[in-house]
Amino acid sequence: MKKSLLLIALLVVFVLTTSSAVSAQTTLIVFAAASLADAFEELADGFEAANPGVDVLFNFASSSDLAAQLAEGAPADVFASANNRQMSAAQDAGRIGSNRRTFVRNRLVLIVPSDNPAQITSLSDLANAGVQIVIAAPSVPVRDYTDTLLERLAADSTYGEAYRTAFMGNVVSEEQNVRQVAAKIALGEADAGIVYTSDVTPDISESVTAIPIPDELNTIASYPIAITDDTSSPELARAFVGYVLSNAGQSTLACWNFIPARLIPEAECTAGQ
């Protein structure tokens, strides 16, 4: 009898100890644009180290897909979008209030496979017959920025409307997010693609060549971040957003070739970034 009571007491202590450990572990769900994957994974390591017991769980996809998921009620604490249009869509759906902040910026770049089979050296070559181009699908933020680029090219007498027509005629694939565009070019499945500078990551840098787009034609992408109105961890969500906007967070983003939202000390990047 005494042994049974002792066993029960030990089980109770075990259950209480286990329950305490589980309750101390807090999960923060962050919906983030696909282009942020590498930078946010590293940023989360720093945030988790500063907040023991916190586990940051990411959902990376195109901002349009994420906004649609939020509109359907998917649970999330923070939304980091690659443009304001999709943040507004989440806001219109009643998931985001007026707490959005621009936390980073980006710019477009033309990429080609490292062997460059189509011999592309500038934007003008994208209108050549037979060139195979990959871009993002409509409503994906990088596609919005690409369309703005094409509008500027069409309005430039050096290129004109015929250039835009030829460019779109050469499009062979429209991908669901910008990382899929980058992957297709890295694999040599097309001749050229339009992505963000931050998408030329170490894992594909030897497989692609980046060709800068002139500043007068390029477009700057603004990334907003916001806390969902129904987050179950508002204080933790605010802390995460604060970390993204801190010197540490901004430095991490800068190391992954994003443009910080504000002036910060020069970032010390690890090898490979």
Side chain identity, residue 177: N
- Quick one: how far is CA 255 from the chain centroid? 14
Residue matched to tokens 């080609």: 112
pTM confidence score:
0.89
The 10 Å CB-count burial string (b at 16+, else e) for 64-96 is bbbbbbbeeeeebbbbbbbbbebbebbbeeebb
Amino acid occupying residue 242 = G
Residue 25: the pLDDT is 58
Q: Is the pLDDT of residue 8 over 90?
A: no
Interval 100-122 mean pLDDT: 98
Helix (H, G, I), strand (E, B) or coil at 195: strand
* 3-class DSSP assignment, residue 269: coil
Token reading at 64: 């349009």
The total of other beta-carbon atoms located within 10 Å of residue 186's CB is 21
- Looking at residue 123, what DSSP letter applies? G
Render pLDDT for 108-117 as a digit per residue (tens, 0 to 9).
Answer: 999 999 999 9
- Mean pLDDT confidence for 121-140: 98
Residue 6 has pLDDT above 60, yes or no: no
pLDDT in tens, 245-267: 999 999 999 999 999 998 899 88
Task: Provide long-range contacts, Cβ within 8 A and 24+ apart, for 239-246.
Answer: 239/47, 239/51, 240/28, 240/30, 240/47, 240/56, 240/77, 240/78, 241/78, 241/101, 241/103, 243/43, 243/46, 243/47, 243/50, 244/43, 244/80, 244/103, 245/101, 245/103
- Determine the pLDDT at residue 106: 98
Backbone phi, psi, residue 249, to 5°? -65, -45
Instruction: Give the pLDDT confidence of 211-246 residue by residue, as tens digits.
Output: 999 999 999 999 999 999 999 999 999 999 999 999
Q: What is the pLDDT of residues 21-74, one digit of tens each?
A: 333 459 999 999 999 999 999 999 999 999 999 999 999 999 999 999 999 999
Task: Quickly state the pLDDT bin for 98 (edges 50, 70, 90).
Answer: confident
Q: What is the DSSP letter of 127?
A: G
Q: At residue 167, does pLDDT exceed 90?
A: yes
Chain center to CA of 180: 12
